[in-house]
């Protein structure tokens, strides 16, 4: 009976450790995404109005193309 409790405790500890590792990994990925997004937004904001409009139009067009491609149209 004691071995069963030890095995369950060991599994619980391993699962908790794995959960901590996963949360930290995705936390770092999320932080990288936020930093990259902020950098891109700052670069776009620094453009003159005509260039900014052209960049946003291109990004919008590319986004539409991606959606159409995924929908098979």
Token readout for 68 is 């159409």
Q: What is the pLDDT along the chain (73 residues), one digit of tens a residue?
A: 678 888 888 899 999 999 999 999 888 998 999 999 999 999 999 999 999 999 999 999 998 988 988 988 7
Kindly tell me the sign of the dihedral angle through the C-alpha atoms of 14, 15, 19, 20.
negative
Q: Which are the contacts of 55, defined by CB distance < 8 A and separation ≥ 6?
A: 44, 47
**Count, residues in the chain:** 73
| Residues ≥6 apart with Cβ < 8 Å to 56 | 44
Tokens of 15: 């699962």
What pLDDT, on the 0 to 100 scale, is given for residue 1? 61
The pLDDT score that the predictor gives to residue 2 is: 74
Domain boundaries, the chain: 2-71
Q: Please give the pLDDT value at position 4.
A: 85
> Contact, 55 vs 47, CB < 8 A?
yes
């Amino acid at each position: 009976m004691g071995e069963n409790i030890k095995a369950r405790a060991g599994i619980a500890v391993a699962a908790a450790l794995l959960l901590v590792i996963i949360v930290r990994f995705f936390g770092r990925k999320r932080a990288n995404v936020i930093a990259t997004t902020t950098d891109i937004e700052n670069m776009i904001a620094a453009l003159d109005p005509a260039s900014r409009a052209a960049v946003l139009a291109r990004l919008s067009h590319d986004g539409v193309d991606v959606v159409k491609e995924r929908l098979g149209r």
